[in-house]
Amino acid sequence: MSVLISHPSPDLYGSDLQLLETVEALVADGHTVRVVLPATGPLESRIVARGASVQIFDFPVSRKSLLSITGIPVYILKSVVAAFKIFRILRKIRPNVVYANTLTTPVWFLSELLAGTPVICHVHEAEQSNQRTVRYALLLPLTLCRTIIVNSRASREVIVTSLPRLEKRAKVVYNGIPHDDKKPPSAAPEGGHFRLALVGRLSPRKGTDIALEAVALLISQQYDVSITLYGDFYPGYEWFDADLRERAARPDLAGRVHFAGYVKDARAKLADADIVLVPSLAEPFGNVAVEAQLANRPLIASRVQGLSEIVTDGETGTLCQPGNAKELATAVSRLIDNWSSALRMAENSYSSAAERFGVERYQAQVLHEVSSLAVAPRRSSVLQIFDGRRS
């Protein structure tokens, strides 16, 4: 069958990389896959390498920055224009399924109304912090989707609590994280110096600033630590990057914070760390947490949303209160002071992650949902009316 996938970003972060596993599963099962991106970027060549084609089409993507008096009318206008273009695309290729990868591409949810093509949305978000009316507005377009895949129970709870009618449509499919069958060697701090790592966008949501304050506290307590930040910032967050660099340059942190920027394979960089931090304030799933477990590294994560589903506190990692630098620093110091126990916990986490978050399990579940949707009866659409008039 033919599957058209819409994706809001050409980058290589969590949901972007997960898309590649979806594409690979569909192509390996013999389906024709076309991915539509709003712009060119590093993800494009990786999609092609997995056997799918790519089409660039500047369709609107929902962002928080658009939720303003001036932003909403512009977004609506762009969506109307995009809907006409989407109609032409659907009319030309007539896919069996439209797979909207993330909640932020609602204009594609119109595909069934436009062309009778059933829509599946893969939700990678869990916006619990939004105001109720805003959250409802963001989730309401999901009522146009036949099936909803969610990446965690936390994501599903947000959807079902806001829109109970979607309970039967929302199905949890944990992300699939690729890894080698051979377990990596344990972390080995050199000369008592412990290297911390934080992988992810430089944004307040990821708790990067909290991590720097935790490192400053550890240094003040005579712990020999440093931290490397792997990732870049979204356009519009230049101020946060500047704040981080200014904080890192102060005497109490000078030389202890390394900005590595975006790296193509962050998982490989985890091998250079002794402890991995995921101090996010919100995290629907948390690929990096699983990657840290599969790297056989002691992990400290925030007790939020999907991270609480990945980490069993004290067994496969350490959970701490989000936004609390003191508690994060205490968690790091406990691992350092009980290093043999930290390594045993990392061993446990590797086995757990390999079993629960494997790629084969993920791909099988996604294929099942897509295949089930493809054989569902189609509803009347604008395209059918259009074709009827032509005939």
* Residue 185: predicted pLDDT: 86
- Model confidence at 15, pLDDT cuts 50, 70, 90, reads confident
- Model confidence at 391, pLDDT cuts 50, 70, 90, reads very low
Q: Is the pLDDT of residue 299 over 50?
A: yes
E strand intervals along the chain: 2-6, 32-37, 53-56, 97-101, 119-123, 147-150, 170-172, 194-199, 225-230, 257-261, 275-278, 299-302, 318-320
Q: In the predicted model, what is the mean pLDDT of residues 288-292?
A: 93
**CA gap 304, 309 in Å, rounded:** 9
Long-range CB contacts for residues 216-223, cutoff 8 Å, separation at least 24:
216/252, 216/253, 217/325, 217/326, 217/329, 218/329, 218/332, 218/333, 219/252, 219/253, 219/256, 220/252, 221/329, 221/333, 223/194, 223/332, 223/333, 223/336
**CA gap 77, 70 in Å, rounded:** 12
Q: What are phi and psi of 13, to 5 degrees?
A: -110, -160
- Domain ranges (residues) in the chain: 2-176+358-390, 194-356
Q: Which CATH class is domain 2-176+358-390?
A: alpha beta
Q: Tokens at residue 82, please?
A: 């995009």
Q: Is the pLDDT of residue 386 over 80?
A: no
**CA gap 52, 6 in Å, rounded:** 13
Identify the CATH number of the domain defined by range 194-356.
Answer: 3.40.50.2000
Q: Is the pLDDT of residue 315 over 80?
A: yes
- Model confidence at 376, pLDDT cuts 50, 70, 90, reads low
**CA gap 156, 297 in Å, rounded:** 29
Residue 36's CB: how many other CB atoms inside 10 A?
Answer: 20
Q: Is the pLDDT of residue 387 over 60?
A: no
User: Tens digit of pLDDT for each residue in 166-180?
Assistant: 999 999 999 999 888
Q: Is the pLDDT of residue 324 over 60?
A: yes
- Model confidence at 74, pLDDT cuts 50, 70, 90, reads confident
Residue of 115, 81, 80 lying closest to 95 (CA atoms):
115
Question: Could you give the 3-state DSSP secondary structure of residue 33?
Answer: strand
User: Tens digit of pLDDT for each residue in 126-141?
Assistant: 766 556 777 787 888 9
**CA gap 19, 178 in Å, rounded:** 13
Q: Do domains 2-176+358-390 and 194-356 have the same CATH topology?
A: yes
Identify whether the C-beta of residue 213 lies closer than 8 Å to the C-beta of residue 207. Answer: no
Burial 38-47 (b: 16+ CB within 10 A, else e): beeeebeebb
- For the chain, the average pLDDT equals 89
Q: Is the pLDDT of residue 263 over 90?
A: no
User: Tens digit of pLDDT for each residue in 109-164?
Assistant: 998 888 889 999 999 887 665 567 777 878 889 999 999 999 999 989 989 988 99
pTM to 2 decimal places = 0.85
